[in-house]
Amino acid sequence: MMEIEFSRPSSHFDAAALHHDLCESTPALLSVLRAFHPWLADMRARLRGAIETGNTEQLADAAHTLRGSLAQLRAAAAVELVRQLEAVCKADPGAPLTPDHPRVLALDAELEALSTEIADFLAAASGDDGSQPGDPA
C-alpha cells in the first residue's frame, strides 16, 4: 500500500486528524472513507426525501445522525451546517423546509464538496491519478 502524505490539510475534512484518531493506521483510514462515501450519498438522499415530503421530524433525525458521523470524520464545516439545520427544525417542528431554503442549499453544497474531496482522496490513495491525497488539484 502506498504511503499517504498528510502535509496539506483537506478543505472539507481533516484527513490528518482522522488518521491520528485511527492510531495512524492508513488502512483503517481508507476503510473508513470507503465505507463513509456511499453512506454519505444515502444520507443525502434521505435528507432530500424528508425535505421533499415535508417531514421535519425525519429530517431532524437524519440530520442528527449525519452530524455525528461528520464529527467523527472531522468535517467541521459540514458539522456546523448540519447543526444549523437541526436548530431550524427544532425551532419550528411543524414548518417543513423547502429545497431552496438557504440552510438546505448551503448544506447540500458542502456535502457535495465533501463527497468530491473524499472521492479524490481515495483515488489518489489508490494511485488512480498519480497524485497524493492533499495535493492541490
- Write the pLDDT tens digit of every residue in 93-109: 888 889 999 999 999 99
Its pTM surpasses 0.95: no
Mean pLDDT of 43-51: 96
Which residues 6+ apart lie within 8 Å of 110 measured at CB? Answer: 12, 77, 78, 81
pLDDT bucket at 7, cuts 50 / 70 / 90: low
CATH code of 15-125, in short, is 1.20.120
Report the sign of the C-alpha dihedral through residues 91, 104, 10, 74, in that order: positive
